[in-house]
Structure 1
Amino acid sequence: MATLLLTALGTAIGGPIGGTIGALIGRQADAAIFGGGSRQGPRLRELTVSTSSYGQPLARHFGRMRVPGTIIWSTDLIESKRKQKGRKGQPSTVTYSYSASFAVALSSTPLARLGRIWADGNLLRGALDDLKVAGKIRFYHGYGDDPVDPLIAADKGGLAPAFRDCAYVVFEELELGDFGNRIPALSFEIFAEGGETSVSLELMVPGAAEGPSATFAHLRGYADDGGPLAATLATIDEIIPLVCISGRDGLRIAPRALQQADIITLPQQLFPDERSGNEGRHKQRAAPAAREPAALRYYDEGRDYQPGVQRALGSRRYGRETMFDLPATLTADGARQLANRRATRARWQNETVLWRIGELDPRLQPGAAVRLPTMRGVWFISSWEWFEGGVELSLERVAPELTAQTISDPGDTLPPADEPMPPTRLEALEVPGDGNLNPASPLLFAATSAAHSGWRGAALYLAESSRLIPIGSSGTQRAVMGALLEPLAPSSAVLFEPTSSLLVELVGEGLDFADTDVSGLANGANRLMVGGEVVQFARAEALGERQWRLQGLLRGRGGTEAEAATGHSPQTSVILLDDSLVALDPADVPPLATTRIAAIGPGDPEIVIAELRNPGLSRRPLAPVHARLTVTPGNRWELCWTRRARGQWRWEDLVEVPLVEEQEQYLVGYGPALSPFVAWSVNEPRFELALEERSLLISTHGTAALWVRQIGTFGQSHPLFLAHLS
């Protein structure tokens, strides 16, 4: 009733601002007379998701807040089809990816900047303004001269709206693979104009408040979801008392503040109260509040704006506690102090005094703090009225200030990791065959990794002169890769070396190695590509700082004995051959030494390029082994050897390995391996050389070595030493 009456009266006297102030005073009166329920204030949003409903008001925001926003424009899903060869040992697949472009309105008041963005509870944009998935983002502050977004203009043409006086965000081709190929539930951290960590009443009610005193203590953000302005002010007044001041400058509103230096002591009462015999006329004090406000719900800044609750100090009453909802951003300490002050005011509420003086001091106006000559405490002037016998002031007792600063804890929270998007680390390599795939097809892989798990993958391309040809994507699984920190000594690659070790530094945190046993080594476990050599290890020891010592080595695996014989220098690339490698289709990526692979990820400032290492390794025949020399009667030499096959890691006893190549053929040479003096082609693993032939070779070319290579379908093996003629 008082709300309706005083709203009409205030509008008649002071216009719209007067009506707002009248409604605020009326709400205060109604609350004092009729009381309230166990839950007061506007309900907090539980970080609701973005909507797209007609007729929904766009909230006004002040300070810093986390808001869901309203989708105001969107395109259909954009489908992309891509054929991608499976990971190591897996078949090729056709993958479909989806993206979308859309705009989300955030506030009907201007915003200074945009902070973090959450999608389905995970960070989509971090504190460093880095987008965690592929796509582009544009932010419009909400001024009256914001331009039309070019993407919306391209879609709508001449009818494209500019959404001026509305702060909004435009997402362009945002990848939706991480969100189930749908637009995710979004929420945004926003910072309003006029103060990123404070709320000013002057911005809420232009012209009704001014000066630094109009800033609300402890409020770091506030959301006004619409409705009468008086309702918003009444909500704030419940927690932070407001005063309405009528002066020569018109009607003004300000937070009630107590400045000790400005407290005036009133003169003595003009006329003693005949009825009470006291100087205080009509002194009243109400009984303690029936339901003292005990708890405050708010948006906790320390918990990523999740709703939090702080309870006031003091005795607890039986039954349901009175909870007040304040749609504001607060710290836990600030919320605790506001809750304590609200409870203290409730205990001292309605202690009033009417005090009549002869002359009104210009400093004595509603909202001023005064002292009484015969009473303790501080009083606020709530109103004054002229009478024939003087000026009568209505005074309201100020609750005592809390002397101790309360400290509170917002509680434990598990915020999503906000790590800056790391750049992509890329290697392209050809590896020896494992016997499970087509031996005629080269085994090409891309090893992609990054410094930490915040990496979201990268698009892969074939770099061909000045253009990039898409060949797939890396996925988000990081390859275990790094570099040697110490030289790796040469090895004969004949026996297991239990004491040999290598020291490697990985490219990022969270990557590791695992131990295995002899059976695991026999089955091909723990294979590393160190430069051009395949090395197996049995034990892995973490040394910290991304460094590992790998011990118990099998060298020169997969026919890489020649690379093991030369050893490796520090900073040689080390890559674990496991399922994290991305298979490359030879139809798209030629197995040539000039081939280059490119990667572009969200955290890459520029294109990452890698040249193909070890081209031809997977289809190169393995060098023969077990050379034997037998001298037959007549001093004739019979040279024999044993062939090996590509991809046959396990060499079963008494079992002939498959040929793999199209035909069995060998090249026997005398002299340098690259340019022999004499060469013979044979179709079986044996070669005979008579005494006269040996003598002729020595007399013609001098002393030299005899060696043999296996000739495969796609190349020749390294040479195997057979004998030396001298």
Structure 2
Amino acid sequence: MATLVLGTVGRVIGGPIGGALGALAGQAIDGRLFRGAAREGPRLTELAVQTSSYGTPIPKLFGTIRVAGTVIWSTDLIETRTTSRSGKGQPGTNSYSYSASFAVALSARPIRGVGRIWAEGKLLRGAAGDWKNRTGFRLHLGTEDQAVDPLIASAVGATPAYRGLAYAVFEGMQLADYGNRIPSLTFEVAADAGPVASGAIAAMLADEVTGGGGVALGGFAASGASVRGVLETLAAIDGGWWQPDGHRLVRRSDAGAAVAVTDRGARRRTVAALASAPREVAVAHHDPARDYQIGVQRVRRPGAGERVDRVELPAVLDAATAKGIAAALVAHSEAERTRRQVTLGPEGMAIAPGGIVRVGDEAGRWRVARVAVAGPATTLDLVPLAAMPVTAGASSGQVAAAADVPVGATRLVVAELPGLEDAPLSGPRISVIAAGAGAGWRQAALLYSLDDGASWIGAGGTAAAAAIGRVEVAPVAASPWLVDRRSRVVIVLEHAAMALHDADAAMLAGGANLALVGDELLQFGRAEPLGAGRWALSGLYRGLRGTEGAIGGQQAGDRFALVERDAVAAIDLPVSAIGRAVRVLASGVGDTVEPAAAIVTVTGASVAPPAPVHGAARVQADGSIAIRWTRRSRAGWDWVDSRDAPLAEETEAYRVVIEQADGSERTVEVTEPGLVLAAGDSARAVRIVQRGTLAPSVPLRFLL
């Protein structure tokens, strides 16, 4: 309308030139007022962030692609309180954890399965199907006969089965690692057994489309405001276009046959300015080399212009293919600056938009962009077919992929160790050192039982993963008072990711490289890697913290654990637990069959004073025997003042058992580290035990 009005006014005022200017102005106004609504195709942003908004479109997925999905159902946060107690009469500690159950819609088309799952960019489920965090999980494939999810039905009541919709249900997902909120999840969804051609995807989206051919896509997500928008996106990927053929749309490409035509009118050709074509095209796509995250490939042409086009393709493409698409779009845009019109007779009505023609004997092939019929004449608007450019190599860039390391089952080392702190304990304690069979293990929940499993008490969780394993070559017997340079202990750690390190004298003095080997605590100065998780330890300080009685008792297959304070979880027990067996269970993410279990007998070693040392006997002038020894303490291990260690017991008391030559024994109680036997006493050996407040020490025995 504006074209007609302004063209007439222009001719009245300015003659033919004014009429032409008025018509141009009118065409611009008509183009703004009467142009059709934009047809939105799928965009990458629709697949990047997990949503739960009403009316959010759910894509139809093809091949294998990474998508975020849409939350379609969720519970409120579920709070769980756990009370752990340190012992009889001690106050309990309440700890709280939070979980949630929810469902995420993935595809409006049936799928074959789900591979990896990321939560906040970190792997929640690995490629092997192993979980990195605790959650229940069910996957509904979107078939037309799938059943109602039992959890949603129990929470909501009457609920649809969402047939035709693939969705995942998380039950009781632990949220501590995600700020006690449902994390943003993305899923590696396998909808088809392999890549799918772009033409085949188009044919599956609409019955009126005849596809075939195109580019093989690793994956594709069809969504957006219209099917036409998706078809245009697919055409941008494979360089083809859609041509009407009766009531159907047929995919065409520049490889099709050309129809020869003869121009009956004047030759009309126009070339738009170079600046009207984009100088740079950026193609965003899902890059399999980047764990299906967004990759961008750019192609820039020389010459004038500042226009930059970004094309978002919700398709799985490698970097080279994406760069080729960008180069093709640049070439097509530059070629389509040239336009040509040809006038045909009635025979031209048989040529539909999208057809390929060749004009007379001229070189080159043209695509029909528009057909206009006026009486017996048919006018074709043509654009040249551009030759596909040759692109240089493309790179996916530096990939910061989430590490997919197995968690594995929990491995436990449970022992009643002498107190590791400088201050003495007020009750017995067992130490739990744990790790996993895989490098991805982080923690496990702990339970213990004092009544042979009849009841269980929560003990929180394990500490940080420790370096644990087994002894392959045991240390030899050696003195606890000298550095053992003879032994070369070979250790096999649980997996190759565990590592040990050397320690110099200052580090050893600070407590570094303390290890439990069998029942002996020792330190090592040198750790030599032998490969495949095997290490050779040398430069040993033996029998530490009163464990000298275990020296020389190790054998191949015994336990090994590096004792570091941040890797030891403590379970404090009542005094009544001394002499009883304690069962310990540890359950982590990788313990899918059964929890790790251990049993330890509480002897009181954690609260007993170390055995006395430096026992000696001397015959005095009157024939009597003076027996002396040096006490040790379970406090003041650092010995910072170089004086006698503190007593750390309510009283100083010793029980001395005197072994007679005839095999009989008698017991003497003393309150100081010494005893005198009368002349002529037939004693041949003594055993000295320091009586602690909670438990006695291991005896010191020596011959007279």
Which TM-score band (shorter chain)?
Answer: 0.7 to 0.9
Equivalent pair of 1:429/1:612 in contact (CA under 8 Å): yes
Equivalent pair of 1:433/1:646 in contact (CA under 8 Å): yes
Matches within 5 A, 1:21-170: 44-45=44-45, 48-84=48-84, 93-157=93-157, 159-170=158-169
Moved more, 629-638 or 645-654: 645-654
- Counterparts of 2:444 and 2:220 in 1: how far apart (Å)? 40
- Counterparts of 1:332 and 1:30 in 2: how far apart (Å)? 38
1:645 aligned onto 2:625 = no
Q: 2:469 aligns with which of 463, 467, 482?
A: 482
Q: Deviations over 1:88-112 (max 9, x none)?
A: xxx9853211111111222333333
Label 1:498 to 1:628 Cα distance change in 2 as closer, same or farther (>3 A).
same
- Counterparts of 1:626 and 1:194 in 2: how far apart (Å)? 76
- Counterparts of 2:62 and 2:421 in 1: how far apart (Å)? 66
Q: Secondary structure at the residue paired with 1:410? A: coil
1:186 alignment partner in structure 2: 185
- Counterparts of 1:196 and 1:407 in 2: how far apart (Å)? 22
1:292 aligned onto 2:290 = no
Q: 1:228 aligns with which of 214, 222, 226?
A: 226
Matches within 5 A, 1:653-664: 653-655=642-644, 657-658=646-647, 660=649, 664=653
Q: Deviations over 1:216-250 (max 9, x none)?
A: 41544333443232333344445533222324xx3
Matches within 5 A, 1:571-650: 571-579=557-565, 580-587=567-574, 590=577, 594-607=581-594, 608-612=596-600, 615-650=603-638
Unaligned runs of 5+ in 1: 2-28, 277-281, 698-703
Q: Secondary structure at the residue paired with 2:45? A: coil
- Counterparts of 2:361 and 2:601 in 1: how far apart (Å)? 95
Q: 1:409 aligns with which of 385, 389, 395?
A: 395
The amino acid that maps onto 2:253 is A
- Counterparts of 1:217 and 1:589 in 2: how far apart (Å)? 75
Equivalent pair of 1:98/1:175 in contact (CA under 8 Å): yes
The amino acid that maps onto 2:114 is L
Q: 2:689 aligns with which of 701, 709, 715?
A: 709
- Counterparts of 2:660 and 2:304 in 1: how far apart (Å)? 103
Equivalent pair of 1:667/1:711 in contact (CA under 8 Å): no
Identity over aligned pairs, percent: 32
- Counterparts of 2:609 and 2:232 in 1: how far apart (Å)? 85
Matches within 5 A, 1:258-657: 258-259=254-255, 263=257, 266=260, 269=262, 273=264, 276=266, 284=269, 286-287=271-272, 290-293=275-278, 294-301=280-287, 302-349=289-336, 351-352=339-340, 354=342, 374-380=361-367, 397-402=384-389, 404=390, 406-434=392-420, 436-462=422-448, 469=456, 471-475=458-462, 477-497=464-484, 500-518=487-505, 520-564=507-551, 566-579=552-565, 580-587=567-574, 590=577, 594-607=581-594, 608-612=596-600, 615-650=603-638, 653-655=642-644, 657=646
Q: Secondary structure at the residue paired with 2:209? A: coil
Moved more, 604-613 or 427-436: 604-613
Moved more, 618-627 or 577-586: 618-627
Q: TM-score, normalised by structure 1?
A: 0.79
Q: TM-score, normalised by structure 2?
A: 0.82
Q: Secondary structure at the residue paired with 1:558? A: helix
Label 1:98 to 1:369 Cα distance change in 2 as closer, same or farther (>3 A).
same
- Counterparts of 2:503 and 2:149 in 1: how far apart (Å)? 58
Moved more, 385-394 or 324-333: 385-394
- Counterparts of 1:466 and 1:151 in 2: how far apart (Å)? 31
- Counterparts of 1:319 and 1:398 in 2: how far apart (Å)? 24
- Provide the alpha-carbon RMSD of the alignment: 4.0
The amino acid that maps onto 1:429 is A
- Counterparts of 1:334 and 1:36 in 2: how far apart (Å)? 31
- Counterparts of 2:576 and 2:194 in 1: how far apart (Å)? 55
Equivalent pair of 2:408/2:436 in contact (CA under 8 Å): yes
Q: Secondary structure at the residue paired with 1:333? A: helix
1:16 alignment partner in structure 2: none
Equivalent pair of 1:669/1:676 in contact (CA under 8 Å): no
Moved more, 438-447 or 309-318: 309-318
2:253 alignment partner in structure 1: 257
Q: Deviations over 1:409-437 (max 9, x none)?
A: 12112121122222221111110124645
Label 1:283 to 1:679 Cα distance change in 2 as closer, same or farther (>3 A).
farther
- Give the drift of 1:48: 4.3
Q: Deviations over 1:150-189 (max 9, x none)?
A: 11111112x2332333222111000001001111122223
Label 1:548 to 1:85 Cα distance change in 2 as closer, same or farther (>3 A).
farther
The amino acid that maps onto 2:230 is T
Equivalent pair of 2:196/2:216 in contact (CA under 8 Å): no
Q: Secondary structure at the residue paired with 1:478? A: coil
1:682 aligned onto 2:669 = yes
Q: Deviations over 1:504-549 (max 9, x none)?
A: 3332345444554545544544322111111123344445543444
Label 1:591 to 1:614 Cα distance change in 2 as closer, same or farther (>3 A).
closer
Q: Deviations over 1:275-322 (max 9, x none)?
A: 55xxxxx56454366432321332232323433332235315343423
